[in-house]
Amino acid sequence: MRILHTADWHLGQELHGFERGAEHDRFLNWLARTISDQAVDALVMAGDVYDTVNPPVAAQTRLYRFLNGVLDRNPGLQVVIVGGNHDGPTRLELPAPLLDARRVTILGAIPRQDGRPAPEHCLVPLTDAGGRIGAVVAAIAYPRPGDLPVDGGGSAALGQIYQAALDAATSRFPGLPVIATGHLHVAGATVSETSERPVMIGGEEAMSAGIFPAGLAYVALGHLHRAQRVAAGTAVRYAGSPFPMSMAERNYRHSVALVTLAPDTEPDIPLPEIDLIEIPRPVAFLRVPADGALAPDDAIAALTALDIAPMPEHAELRPFLEVVVQLDAPAPDLRRRLDAALDGKPVRLARVRSLHAGAGGTLGDGTAAMAGLDEISPAEVFARLHRQRFETDPPSALIDGFRHLLADVAAGDDQDDLVANTTGHEVPR
Ligand SMILES: [Mn+2]
> Model confidence over 43-96: pLDDT tens digits?
999 999 999 999 999 999 999 999 999 999 999 999 999 999 999 999 999 999
pLDDT band at 145 (very low <50, low <70, confident <90, very high): confident
Q: How far is the CA of 194 from the centre of ligand 1 (A)?
A: 12
Q: How far is the CA of 9 from the centre of ligand 1 (A)?
A: 10
Judge whether 416 lies within some domain.
Answer: no
Judge whether 98 lies within some domain.
Answer: yes
Please, are residues 279 and 47 in contact by the beta-carbon 8 Å criterion? no
Q: How far is the CA of 184 from the centre of ligand 1 (A)?
A: 7
Do 119 and 244 fall within a single domain? yes
Please name the residue ranges forming H helices in 220-266.
none
Range of the domain at 107: 2-282
Separation between Cα atoms, residue 103 and residue 75, nearest integer Å: 9
Beta strands in 89-167 (DSSP E): 104-107, 112-113, 116-117, 123-127, 133-138
Do 212 and 180 fall within a single domain? yes
Q: Is 69 exposed, middle or buried (0-12, 13-18, 19+ CB in 10 A)?
A: middle
Nearest to 188 by CA among 150, 231, 159: 231
- Inform me whether the pLDDT recorded for 363 exceeds 60: no
Q: Is 110 exposed, middle or buried (0-12, 13-18, 19+ CB in 10 A)?
A: buried
Do 256 and 335 fall within a single domain? no
Do 274 and 379 fall within a single domain? no
Compute the Cα dihedral for 195, 106, 41, 137 and give only its sign: positive
Please name the residue ranges forming H helices in 38-153.
57-73, 89-93
Compute the Cα dihedral for 300, 248, 246, 328 and give only its sign: negative
The predicted model gives 387-407 an average pLDDT of: 80
Do 273 and 289 fall within a single domain? no
Separation between Cα atoms, residue 315 and residue 335, nearest integer Å: 21
**Strand order of the sheet with strand 228-231?**
123-127, 133-138, 178-183, 218-222, 236-238, 228-231
pLDDT band at 427 (very low <50, low <70, confident <90, very high): very low
Do 172 and 233 fall within a single domain? yes
DSSP string for 248-259: GGTT---EEEEE
Do 244 and 339 fall within a single domain? no
Please, are residues 180 and 216 in contact by the beta-carbon 8 Å criterion? yes
Element (H, E) at 301: helix 296-305
Q: How far is the CA of 423 from the centre of ligand 1 (A)?
A: 24
- Of 30-34, 159-163, 382-386, the range with the lowest mean pLDDT is 382-386
Q: How far is the CA of 142 from the centre of ligand 1 (A)?
A: 8
Is the pLDDT higher at 366 or at 187? 187
- Inform me whether the pLDDT recorded for 341 exceeds 90: yes
Q: How far is the CA of 48 from the centre of ligand 1 (A)?
A: 5
Q: How far is the CA of 245 from the centre of ligand 1 (A)?
A: 12
Nearest to 280 by CA among 328, 310, 317, 311: 317
Judge whether 190 lies within some domain.
Answer: yes
Judge whether 102 lies within some domain.
Answer: yes
Mean pLDDT, the chain, as a whole number? Answer: 87
Compute the Cα dihedral for 256, 262, 266, 268 and give only its sign: negative
Cis peptide, bond prior to residue 289, ω within 30 of zero = yes
State the total domains in the chain. Answer: 2
Judge whether 429 lies within some domain.
Answer: no
Q: How far is the CA of 347 from the centre of ligand 1 (A)?
A: 29
Judge whether 315 lies within some domain.
Answer: yes
Separation between Cα atoms, residue 162 and residue 368, nearest integer Å: 43
Judge whether 356 lies within some domain.
Answer: yes
